[in-house]
Amino acid sequence: MINEFAPAKINLSLHLVGQKSDGYHLLDSIVSFVNVGDTLRMTPGRSSGLIVEGPFAKDLPSSSHNLVFKAAEIFSNVRLPQIMLEKNIPVASGIGGGSADAAATVRLISKVYDEPKPPIHELISLGADVPVCMHKGIVRMMGVGEKIIKLSPAPNVGILLVNPRKALSTSEVFNAVKKKNNSGIKSHTFMEDKLNLWFDWINSMRNDLTSSAINLVPEIRFILDKLVTCDGAKVVRMSGSGATCFALFENFDLLQDAKDKIGKDCPSFWCEKGQLI
């Protein structure tokens, strides 16, 4: 059995800069990844199929509708192996769970069967976030997800992830946004060796989907307000189309304190601490 980790994808910022005639939205986003996520386990040689386990397995199909299954089908020369997906992060939560799983599937099959990775247009066909989920560190994603610029390794930063356990439709959030031609990110240059300036750089940006997401799931505003009150929180924002929100920490002891506080005050919410990778 061979394992592949599928780290959650975090939109540290998300600028909505336009919409194409075919309906696809144009983004300018700074993305990172965390050591919290799903795990894929593949057993070559066994009969093909997908088994979904883990705390959020019941929210995800194990049929051909699953992105893991669709990602495996891209490799037409490979007899589909048995894949087990351990689903540890909420579904439809703005942290790229399905896309991260699809990207991990591509990496795993490519590595095990010595197959070339599919071209970017095939990855995009699985989902706009799949190409960026093939990367690590701090990445700038533009266009409909096809333009990727690697910026730097991830700084030594802790993160607290909080989700109200309410799935949020990405399409509904985008459709609810009134202004879609917003300004992009002004610069992707920063003093990566000075952490305070890195936090300032992230704070200079925004997530243009936040208001629309809050209108659909008001608990997002409650979570953001809670995170702002946590000692040591350097950046507080919603990720992607929500409903997961995050806070970034330089001090890992204060990160633990914040997790304890949110866990006590909001026991029904999903709350996990981690680190940028």
- Gap between the Cα atoms of 175 and 18, Å rounded: 12
Q: Which of these is catalytic: 28, 38, 129, 208?
A: 129
- Supply the DSSP string of the chain, one letter for each residue: -EEEEEEEEEEEEEEEEEE-TTSPEEEEEEEEEEEEEEEEEEETTSPPEEEEESTTGGGS--STTSHHHHHHHT-TTS---EEEEE--S-TTSSS-HHHHHHHHHHHHHHHHTTPPPPPHHHHHHH-TTTTGGG--SEEEEEETTTEEEEEEPPPS-EEEEEE-S----HHHHHHH-S-------S-----TT-HHHHHHHHHT--BTTHHHHHHH-THHHHHHHHHHTSTTEEEEEE-TTSS-EEEEES-HHHHHHHHHHHHHH-TTSEEEEEEB-
Q: Which of these is catalytic: 9, 87, 259, 273?
A: 9
Report whether 177 contacts 164 (CB < 8 A).
Answer: no
- Does the annotation count 9 as an active-site position? yes
- Gap between the Cα atoms of 235 and 247, Å rounded: 5
- Gap between the Cα atoms of 177 and 214, Å rounded: 11
Would you please indicate which residues are annotated as catalytic (active-site) residues? 9, 129
